[in-house]
Structure formats: C-alpha cells, structure tokens
Amino acid sequence: MSDKKIPTPDAAQEPRGVSRRTFLGTGAVTGAVLAGATALGAGTFTRESWAAAAKEAKSKIHVGPGELDEYYGFWSGGHQGEVRVLGVPSMRELMRIPVFNVDSATGWGLTNESKHILGDSAKYKNGDCHHPHISMTDGKYDGKYLFINDKANSRVARIRLDIMKCDKILTVPNVQAIHGLRLQKVPYTKYVFANAEFVIPHPNDGHTFDLQDKNSFTMFNAIDAEKMEMAFQVIVDGNLDNSDADYTGKYAASTCYNSEKAYDLGGMMRNERDWVVVFNIPRIEAAIKAGKFINLDGSKVPVVDGRKVDGKDSEFTRYIPVPKNPHGLNTSPDGKYFIANGKLSPTVSMIAIDRLDDLFNDRYKDPREVIVAEPELGLGPLHTTFDGRGNAYTTLFIDSQVVKWNMDEAIRAYKGEKVNYIKQKLDVQYQPGHNHASLTETSDADGKWLVVLCKFSKDRFLPTGPLHPENDQLIDISGDEMKLVHDGPAFAEPHDCILARRDQIKTQKIWNRNDPFFADTVARAKKDGINLETDNKVIRDGNKVRVYMTSMAPAYGLTEFTVKQGNEVTVTITNIDQIEDVSHGFVMTNHGASMEISPQQTSSITFMADKPGLHWYYCSWFCHALHMEMVGRMLVEKA
Ligand code: RUQ
Ligand code: CUA
Ligand code: CA
C-alpha cells in the first residue's frame, strides 16, 4: 500500500485544469503511453473516502436478497472467450455464456449441438472477444440478439438473448483479427459491421511480408445479422480499429491508427494524423446490386474498393484526418456526432454526421470541415459514452480518470468562445479502457449508470498472486456529479460491456421442444425411429452406437448400456422435466464427456469407448435431494 501523501477526496474529484496538458509532442505522449502501465502509484482516494463511497453505495446500489436488478449487463470475457451476464446496479454475476471457449459445465465445445454451431472453427479452443452489442430496431434495443467479435480467430458470434446461448458463429474470410464491431441501428440491425484490424497481403499465400504493396490491405466487413452470412467487404487504406453506425442507417465510421501500414511501433506512429474512414452504406449496396464488385481469393463475398486512387476518393468512403492513432469511435445518442478518441492525442474529434452528405458530394475543400470540435480532455482518451443529456464521458487511460464534458460547450469553445466544457474529472482505479453508460448506444440513453472497465486493479482487492483481476467500477451519473459506488473485480478481460433495461430482454423459462438449437439432433433421432420424450434405446450402426435416454429428477431413463471397445458412442439425453430450473447434466467418467440438459432440452455428446471395463456416468447439475444417486453404468466389452 502506498504511504505517500494523498490528496483529499474533494481535491481529487475537482475538475482539473487541462491548460497544463497542452498538445504534447510525439515523444512526450508516447513516453507517457509507455510509462502509463507502470505509473500506477497515483491512487488519490483515502481510506476515509472509500468508506464514504461505500456508504453511498449501500443506499444506491443495494439490491436486497430476492430483489431484481434494473438492468442486464453483458460483459465481454476478453481472451477468456465467453460472455458474462451481470445484474446492474448490484454487479452480481447472473450467468456465463460460453462462445469462443470450451466450457465443461454446459458442454459448449464438447456437445454435438455446440460443435455444429462452431462449425469449422470448432478446432480453435481459444478466442478473444471485445465488443458485445445488442440488436436494435429504430435505434433502440430489441433484445433479440447480442453480437460479439473474436479477434484471435477472426470470427463473429451471435447470441440468442431469449435462451442466452450462442446460436451462430461466422469466420470472416480473407482478413485477420476482427476487432471493432458495431451494429446498424436504423431502421433495424440488418448489418453487423466488423473491422478487420491487420493489413495482410492478398492472396495471403506466403509470397511476401510486404505491407506497402497495393495488394496488401485490410477490409471493413458487413454481415447479414439474420442469416449470419457475409453481406459485403470494403477494401480500405490503412487499417481499422473501432467503429460505430449512425441513426439514419446511412453511415458507419471507423478509426484507423495505422495509416502508415507499418509493422512496428515507431512506424505506426510516424504520421502526425491518421483518420476516421466513413462508409456510405447505400452507395455500397447500390454498387453490389449493379454487379460492380469483385471476389477475392476464392471467396464469393462481394468486395468493393474503398481506397483512394491517386489521392482521389472512391464513391464508397471518405477519410477524415484526425490526430494520430485514434482508438474508440462512438456515436452520440442524439444522432449528431461520431466521436473519435485521440489515444496519443489528449483530444477527441467530433464529426458532425449531418455534414457527411456534403462530404460525400465533395462540397468541402478539406474533409476536416466536418469536424465541429476537438476538445482537449486529458491523457490517453480511449472511449466515450453518453448520458442523453448532452454530456459525454471519456476514459483517460494514462490519467486513470473519467472526464465528464459537455458536447455543446465543446463546440462553442472550438469556435473560440471562452467556455469550460469540462464538468468533472473522476479518478478511477486504474487505467480505464472502455466505459459504458446505461442505454448509451440507443436514443433511449438514460444517464443513470456508468460502468468503467479498468485494466489494472493493483491494491483494490485481496492479492491473488502475480495475476491480478481487472476492476469494473460502477459510477452513479444520475446527478450533476459522478460518484464511484462499486468496485467489481473481474477475470480476464472484460474489454467492454453493454447495459439494457431489464424489460428489453425477454427470456424463455424452459426450452421449447421445437427449438432450432437442437433441431439437428432431433432430426437424427427421427431417422433412428426414436421418440426422444419417451424412448430409452440403444441403436447399433456398425462401429457407431447411439444411446438415447430421457432424464427426470433424479434418474436417467437408462441406467446401463453395453458397447464394444472401439465403438464411437453418442449419448443423446432429453430432459423431460417441465419444472423451471431443474437442469440435469451428464458426465461419463474418464472420457472427457460433460454436458448440460435443461428442462425440455435435448443434448448429445460423442466419445470413443476405447477402454474396456465398467464406467459410471452421473448427473453433474444438482437437481434433486437424490442427485448423487442419479447415475448409470456403461460396460465396454473387450474387442
Ligand atoms: S478496444 S480499450 Cu478492443 Cu474495445 Cu478499446
Ligand atoms: Cu439430475 Cu443432478
Ligand atoms: Ca498512426
């Protein structure tokens, strides 16, 4: 614990003047970025102020036993690969949804149903998800789906929010590292926009390392949200980081930090300015409809070229220069601005969306004429979120703060008026990446809660060895002043989260027997002449053995079956319990087989019976007073 002199909480929360943080030169900012990770000693809260915050927390965020939270929060699990569901404001974890990982409790990555959804990518046992986003209709969450990217294996996954299970995964062709992901907001989420971050050669067949070649590029990707198939790809200059869409359905925008197409740190910081690239969706759609597209490297996906040729813009894109290496890109809930967060610059750039028509019609001499403000906020601005009352909240990674600022006042200041657009700077613990205010990505933004996802927790929790948890902090933003009310330790690495009102998410209590989630298994059973709800039978098909059984607390429909050594065994279980919450499991000991079977669900798992002998199977989800007795035996006869 640090015993150096610490400022009083009041001083710490006072808006700090930004005058001393004039635009720093590359060297200084870069130095600060690089030093940022180690300069964590600046804790400015005293033990007394923590106590005061805790007291405040009690009244504000206490959700009593048996009471329900006001918001659902969906958290990315980062390179752990899953999505986590939390209640807000209690920050209680409600559920985990495995997606790009393997999970033994539910059998995700092990069952036939999940492998079918994972498709070819089932070979990957890892993932790196960053950006969870809920589907929208007319700029409001419709509660149907949640989409999330996988940077590690260039995938996009969809989660059905009615059952809170992943139901589709798509590998984006001919790109590497899907990072920024956002959804079309208006008129509805027709497209999932997904940025591929890394520049690669095309074809990427091992012929070159060269990134400067004209055949080395990356692409902006649009996925049909309902079909979960590729809709189109757009070749861009530079690279792509984060993105967002507007409230007209016409434009999407992405930040680029590697306009240099460099391969190293120094190279990626060479240009004084990188850019925000804006995509004109109707123009892209029209070109594709007219057959004006190419196919790339053996894929059938329509591709259009959004690069400049001899300094001349394509019809599909416009590049707006912004200070070097921007990061987050956020649309304000009033639909007026795209905000690009400076990262290496202490500023954010506000792009007026209502000037984009003119930009695309070449009415401006300089594309920077669409920028209506570039407020200076502090060091390391990464992401911005909104309260729906005209204020924005930006994370300052290096300063370890969230800064609240007023958008209209920032615009007035940019015009030369003397106004202090900074409303408050709040210390957070420590080094925040994303932040997210309740309903902020929709026109419903309600300005109640702000979650700040801090990358470092340092001394905030009981020590856990060299690996520390992260710290997802909850801030009350309903009043004039931001108030920190909760520390939430989290395992690697919740990049981002999203909050929806609880009435916007409607879930099923038990499975529907006709659910497409296990439709393939139902079809296979039908071919085997099996009635899944009543039959307990073993089907022998050469070397393959298919075991069908029911489960009802506390017993399986089959308590023994016999197979031959070398058989490939598929166990299919239908949970005929109708009672909410009575989930069963199935584990075959010493066979790596484990799965969940919730009420009215059918699940199946396949394994090799390669060890002669008696093998117990048992129920792994506590379902009944006699749960321990819910068992059976498999006899494997010597071949
Ligand atoms: S990015 S810390 Cu993967 Cu969302 Cu900004
Ligand atoms: Cu069935 Cu435990
Ligand atoms: Ca750069």
Token readout for 279 is 């995509």
* 3-state secondary structure (DSSP) of residue 175: coil
For ligand 1, is residue 131 a contact (CB within 6 Å)? yes
Specify the pLDDT at position 222: 98
Q: Are 449 and 88 in contact (CB under 8 A)?
A: yes
From residue 284, how far is each of 178, 179, 199, 508 by CA, in Å? 20, 22, 21, 38
Cβ–ligand 2 contact at 584 (below 6 Å):
yes
Ligand 3 centroid distance, CA of 345 (Å): 11
Q: What are the backbone dihedrals phi and psi of residue 121, each rounded to the nearest 5 degrees, phi first?
A: -80, 0
* Predicted local confidence at residue 84, as pLDDT: 98
Q: For residue 626, how far is its CA from the centre of ligand 2 (angstroms)?
A: 8
Q: How many CB atoms within 10 Å of residue 20?
A: 6
Q: Sort strands 371-373 and 348-352 into parallel, antiparallel or unpaired.
A: antiparallel
pLDDT (tens digit, 9 = 90+) per residue, 217-226? Answer: 999 999 999 9
Within 8 A by CB and 6+ apart from 177, the residues are: 151, 152, 154, 196, 197, 198
Q: What confidence score (pLDDT) does residue 584 get? A: 98
Determine contact, residues 91/72, Cβ cutoff 8 Å. Answer: no
C-alpha 355/C-alpha 320 separation (Å) is 12
Q: Which long-range contacts (CB under 8 A, 24 or more apart) does 330-333 make?
A: 330/244, 330/383, 330/384, 330/385, 330/386, 331/185, 331/244, 331/245, 331/246, 331/247, 331/441, 332/386, 332/392, 332/407, 333/386, 333/388, 333/439, 333/440, 333/441, 333/442, 333/443, 333/444, 333/445
Q: What is the DSSP letter of 188?
A: B
Q: Annotated binding site: which residue ranges?
A: 130-131, 179, 257, 260, 268, 274, 325, 327, 383, 434, 455, 470, 495, 584, 619, 621, 623, 627, 630
Cα 199 → chain centroid? 22
What is the Å distance from ligand 3's center to 245 Cα? 23
Kindly tell me the burial class for residue 105, based on how many C-beta atoms sit within 10 Å of its own C-beta (0-12, 13-18, 19 or more). Answer: middle
CA 136, chain centre distance (Å): 16
To the question of domain 518-637 being in CATH 3.40.50.1970, the answer is no
In sequence order, the 6+-apart residues with CB closer than 8 A to the CB of 622 are none
Q: Assess whether the C-beta atom of 433 lies below 6 angstroms from ligand 1.
A: yes
DSSP state of 112: H
- Ligand 2: centre distance to CA 555 (Å): 7
pLDDT at 624 (0 to 100): 97
CA distance 603 to 575: 9
Question: What's the per-residue H, E or C state across 280-340?
Answer: EHHHHHHHHHCCCCECCCCCCCCEEECCCECCECCCCEEEEEEECCCCCEEECCCCCEEEE
Say if CB 549 and CB 559 are below 8 A apart: no
| CA-CA-CA-CA torsion sign (40, 46, 51, 53) | negative
- How do residues 411-454 score in pLDDT, each as one tens digit? 999 999 999 999 999 999 999 999 999 999 999 999 999 999 99
573 lines ligand 2 (CB under 6 A): no
**Where along the chain do its domains lie?**
36-65+375-498, 518-637
Asked if 181 and 197 count as a contact pair (C-beta separation under 8 A), the reply is no
CA 26 to ligand 3 center in whole angstroms? 11
Give the C-alpha separation, 333 to 61, whole Å.
25
Does residue 130 have its Cβ closer than 6 Å to ligand 1? yes
Question: CA-CA distance, 428 to 449, in Å (whole number)?
Answer: 15
State the ligand closest to the CA atom of 551. 2
Shortest-distance Cα residue to atom 3 of ligand 1: 130
Q: How many CA atoms lie within 13 A of 525 on its CB side?
A: 25
Which ligand is located closest to the Cα atom of residue 596?
Answer: 2
Number of helical (H) and strand (E) elements in the chain, helices listed first = 9, 40
For ligand 1, is residue 158 a contact (CB within 6 Å)?
Answer: no
Extract the annotated binding site for Cu cation: 130-131, 179, 327, 383, 434, 495, 584, 619, 621, 623, 627, 630
Pairing of β 229-236 and β 303-305 = parallel
Please report the pLDDT score of residue 135 as a whole number. 98
Sign of CA dihedral 60, 54, 494, 489: negative
Check if the beta carbon of residue 293 is closer than 8 Å to that of residue 232: yes
Per-residue pLDDT tens over the stretch 20-69? 333 333 344 444 444 433 333 344 556 666 677 667 666 778 899 999 99
Strands 71-76 and 83-88: antiparallel
The token pair at 240 is 């792509």
* Residue in this structure with the two tokens 């208006």, named with its chain if needed: 186
Contact 73, 481 (CB under 8 A): no
Of all protein residues, whose CA lies closest to atom 1 belonging to ligand 2? 584
Q: What is the token pair recorded at 442? A: 């929709």
Neighbouring CB atoms inside 10 A of 352's CB total 17
What CA–CA distances, in Å, run from 215 to 77, 203, 204, 288?
34, 8, 10, 21
Q: Rounded to whole angstroms, what are the CA distances from 566 to 220, 245, 537? A: 48, 54, 20
Joined together, the tokens standing for residue 431 give: 């080094």
- The contacts of residue 511 (CB under 8 Å, 6+ apart) are 163, 517, 598, 599, 600, 601
Among 89, 68, 96, 3, smallest CA distance to 491 is for 96
Top-level class of domain 36-65+375-498: mainly beta
CB 489 within 8 A of CB 464: no
The distance from CA 431 to its chain's CA centroid, rounded to whole angstroms, is: 19
Centre of ligand 2 from the C-alpha of residue 588, in Å: 14
554 lines ligand 2 (CB under 6 A): yes
Distance 435 CA to ligand 1 centre (A): 10
The residues of the chain scoring below 50 in pLDDT are: 1-43
pTM score, whole prediction: 0.92
Instruction: Decide whether any atom of ligand 1 lies within 6 Å of the 343 Cβ.
Output: no
Going by DSSP bridges, is the β-strand pair 560-564/631-637 parallel, antiparallel, or unpaired? parallel
Q: Which atom of ligand 2 is nearest to the CA of 622?
A: 2
